[in-house]
Amino acid sequence: MFPSSFNQPKFCPTPAWNPFGITFTNETILGQYPFALFINTNNTIYTVNQEKKQILMWNNNSINPNKIVNVNFEESLSIFVTNNGDIYYDSGDSNGRVDKLISNTNSSVNVMNVDSECSGLFIDINDTLYCSMIFDHKIVKRWLNDSEMITTTVAGTGFSGYASNELSYPRGIFVDLNFDLYVADCDNNRIQLFKSGELNGITIVGRGSSNDIISLFCPSGIVLDADKNLFSVDQWNHRIIRSGSNHIQCIIGCSGQGSQSNQLSLPITLSFDIYGNIFILDHSNQRI
């Protein structure tokens, strides 16, 4: 098994974040309408410039990217980086493809073939790659050490629906140490939990959940902290929601859509740095 390559901070029982954000980077560097963001345990920040077809990397608290790699994709919706520095990215190919940029090279290899763009990518501690097939309404996985390029469906039926075994335009995904799968089920306005090996999901936040005090409107990104508190990007409500077994609250973007430092506009995903700061891909404001 492999240790996690991303940050899952442990917080006090009632953490708080400054509601006013600092712009880390903007359209000048990111290009228009960015999608992907990842921060690893070395605090290296990764994102994608769609227009220039580049993967951008910042480390050592740099203001500008320390490294820029040109890659071949149509549109990359998601990115995941492993501990050895390999970068997995959705190629947005019309045939559906996930490629791996090999660490410290400019060479990419194909690692998964799917029939849809991957709106979320994740690699678990067993080296299994998951793809959230947004237009096929399902999540598939592939063990990366398998010599054959075989994928298995782990959630969803391939048809849009609201039943416990169905998804509708799934977006961000997260797999915990128990191999339980969390899915931002965008069009159903809910977060689904699929226990390892189960094809029927449990609604833990949003429409149909017991925790429906706060409604979601197309959740697009999800991250768990060390205590399994869930941080959801509530995209069309332009905010970040934190929830646990007995609490749910808005923590960022709670005053509505906008471009001020305390506002978001169609955020897509978030990532923690090693200090527990939250970085948000603020899509329509074209900034992180």
Residue 5 to residue 263: CA distance in whole angstroms: 29
Q: Tell me the per-residue pLDDT of 47-97, one tens digit each, with 9 for 90 and over.
A: 999 999 999 999 988 899 999 999 988 889 999 999 999 999 998 766 689
Q: Tell me the per-residue pLDDT of 102-126, one tens digit each, with 9 for 90 and over.
A: 998 889 999 999 988 999 999 999 9
Q: Please determine, for residue 14, whether its predicted confidence score (pLDDT) is greater than 70.
A: yes
How wide is the angle at C-alpha 89 spanned by C-alphas 242 and 125, nearest 5°? 60
Residue 226 to residue 56: CA distance in whole angstroms: 27
Helix (H) or strand (E) holding 28: helix 27-30
Report the 10 Å Cβ neighbour count for 138.
24
Q: Tell me the per-residue pLDDT of 168-204, one tens digit each, with 9 for 90 and over.
A: 999 999 999 999 999 999 999 999 999 999 999 999 9
- Among residues 242, 235, 204, 237, the alpha carbon closest in space to that of 220 is found at 235
Residue 261 to residue 282: CA distance in whole angstroms: 11
Domain ranges, ordered by start, for the chain: 30-285
Mean pLDDT score of the chain, rounded to an integer? 94
Helix (H) or strand (E) holding 248: strand 247-252
Report the 10 Å Cβ neighbour count for 196.
12
Q: Which of 29-33, 165-169, 187-191 has the lowest mean pLDDT?
A: 29-33
Q: What is the DSSP letter of 188?
A: G
Residue 1: the pLDDT is 65
Give this prediction's pTM.
0.97
Q: Roughly how many angstroms between the first and final C-alpha of the chain, as a whole number?
A: 32
Fold of 30-285: Neuraminidase (2.120.10)
Residue 152 to residue 130: CA distance in whole angstroms: 9
Name the pLDDT band for 4 (thresholds 50, 70, 90).
confident
Token pair for 41: 């345990």
Tokens 């960022």 locate to 252
Q: Tell me the per-residue pLDDT of 251-280, one tens digit each, with 9 for 90 and over.
A: 999 999 999 999 999 999 999 999 999 999
Task: Give 124's contacts (C-beta < 8 A, 6+ positions apart).
Answer: 130, 175, 179
